[in-house]
Structure 1
Amino acid sequence: MIRAESNAIQSHLDSFNKFEKFFDLSPDLLCVAGFDGYFKRINPAVCKLLGYSAEELMSKPINEFVFYADKNNTASARNELRKRVPLFDFENRYLTKSGDIVWLLWTSFPVENDEHVYAIAKNITYKKELEEERNLHLAELTKMSNDLKELTYTTLHDLRSPVNNLLSVFELLDTSKIEDSETQEYLSILKSTSESLKQTLNEYVTILNKKNENAAPIEKLNLRESLDEVLLSINSLIQNSHTTIDVDFSQLDTVNFNKAYLKSIFLNLITNSIKYVKPNCLPTISIHSDNKSGKKQLIISDNGIGFDMEKVKDKIFKLHQKFHNHIDSSGIGLYLVYNHVVNLGGHISVESKVNEGTKFIITFKD
């Protein structure tokens, strides 16, 4: 009988020692607090985080260690615990002995019989710092977006006025009095280019307005018609650079897309191909469509100077990234192309080698 009782006592002591070991070695903050607002017991993790000894932490009311801005809500939470209401996912801040602020996430259970609260806390300071950093970045991005939107509206507005004035001049101009056919042709090109520019500006204003309504207008577009509008607007550039453009839309002649976006894609990729031609070489551009395995694609390739894809990698579509020392390089064109595609659910990839040209493969959303 005595041996049985001794074994039971030993078993109880072993269990208690295991609990003590768990309590002391736990990386989480474990503590027992009284209804009087003082710590009654704490594990070493609490002391390590806050920088106080156990004696220091238990000698003062808990609220003296709480960050001043959280004292009231912490006191309110403690009152709820006194009413036997458990506390889950409660966050507050503590001041360490060195003056640093740490964020803790608490789960606490009151025990009515001995007026104690058993609590466990996790250090979530790193998480909170990440959230704060993310919120700061979001605020900065929001400001940048608003500034860019305002700048875009201003630019579009300011550009439309001189374009309208230029078109007014053409209306007043009596071309029948011009006998030189070459001059008439140049004036015709200049007028059509101005009209195209006006249309493009108006379309971008429409897009900006639609974006404020969280939607860019989507319509069924004929690839050839959209391309021809762009080619007409840069006809002089194409002729002066002696650029050859091969077009084949036999596999896919229409796509559901935004008209201004599609024209911008054609414009930026074609002018880039002309701009970054190899020395002593005439630009050759291939523009064709594909529709295989349910993928509707637009492929635009050239014979230009290309990119070192190992160096460029994912920077190619970033804003203000320049990979060639060209006087007209702004690092905006490919950024716009990328955003036009992905904003409407599509995908764009690049294949390129130095002095072997570049191929852009645009996959439209189904």
Structure 2
Amino acid sequence: MASEAVTSRSDRRLHRARQATLLSLVTGVWVSVLLPAVGLTHEPAPGRVVLGAVGILAFVTAQTVVLYAAVTPWLDSRWRRRAQVSLAGTAVLTVPLVGPVAAGRWPTWAWLGAALIGMAPLLLRLRAALAMATGVLLVAVAVAVWTGGSIARHLAVTGGIGAAVAAVNGLQIWFWGLLVDARQGQAAQVRLAAAEERLRFARDVHDVLGHHLTVIALKAELAARIAPVDPERAGREAAEVQRLAASALTEVRETVHGYRAVDLGEQLAAVAGVLRSCGVRCTVSPPPAELPQSAATELAAVLREASTNVLRHSRADWCRIHIDRDDNGARMTIANDGADDSGPDEHSHGLRGLADRLAAAGGELRVRREDSVFTLEATVPVAS
């Protein structure tokens, strides 16, 4: 269905946005490895170089895992907490492992401290993040005193660089949060629309059946009560009950038929709106006037399948939907670019099902691909 296509396309776009956010964050992390690694080149003691390299790699690994969790909202909260605890433990271990590296010559640990402050907005609320930043600055001062380094230099690197990284990371996570909220809002709108339609149908059925069932119950009770004393009248009442039941059944069938009836114009507008919301330029021609309901139903099925294929199996920039009618029937043509070898072809299950459905109705389905343009053409008979 179209709603499923929306979900699929939106999820893919959200997935790409998540990948881009994660790549940006992780790139920043691995770039920051270079600056602490400079201290390794200034350290003459091989033992400290090894310990420092182990500490830096462990810290960066834990940091990468936490960044992954920050942009993966469906992860279990326990897994997220474990990742954060691991980062905290690794950060503590880096003090004795990395702190003495290039003592007095390069603020090696200060760069790790800046990375910690930069991650604060991803892990904590504002007050907790400020408290964490204060603690990291105090550790930076302690490391500077311990190693004989410059306190001002350590504070400048840890505080200044850390604040800049925190601002960039916080902005990226804020944008990511907006995307997730928008996706959840879109899904909620789809669910709400479906619920409202079910309620509308339930109200219609209640209105149709309520009166008839009440009268039927009363008539049946009357017929049962008078049957012993006036069989002839009881028979008339029973016949009336039968008539009322048949009338109620007819009205329910008409209600269900109206509920299932397809407004092809509305379907076209909805599909065009979905495609445009997903970044596909869509051109739609209005359906012919007085198109029979049977033909509209078949073409609507084609429209749903074709729009799903555009969203799921292509990277379309444009889509054109055209419907015309002649003496032989109605024809819908849907063309889009962005098709590739992974997209649908004439052997796909969805298109095979459509072809069988149209053939049963006396119609025909044809597809073709020219370079990256995929075209689907469906014809259905129209009774004169």
Normalising by structure 2, what TM-score? Answer: 0.30
TM-score normalised per structure 1: 0.32
More helix by share: 2
Which structure ranks higher in relative contact order (CA pairs < 8 Å, sequence separation ≥ 6)?
Answer: 2
More strand by share: 1
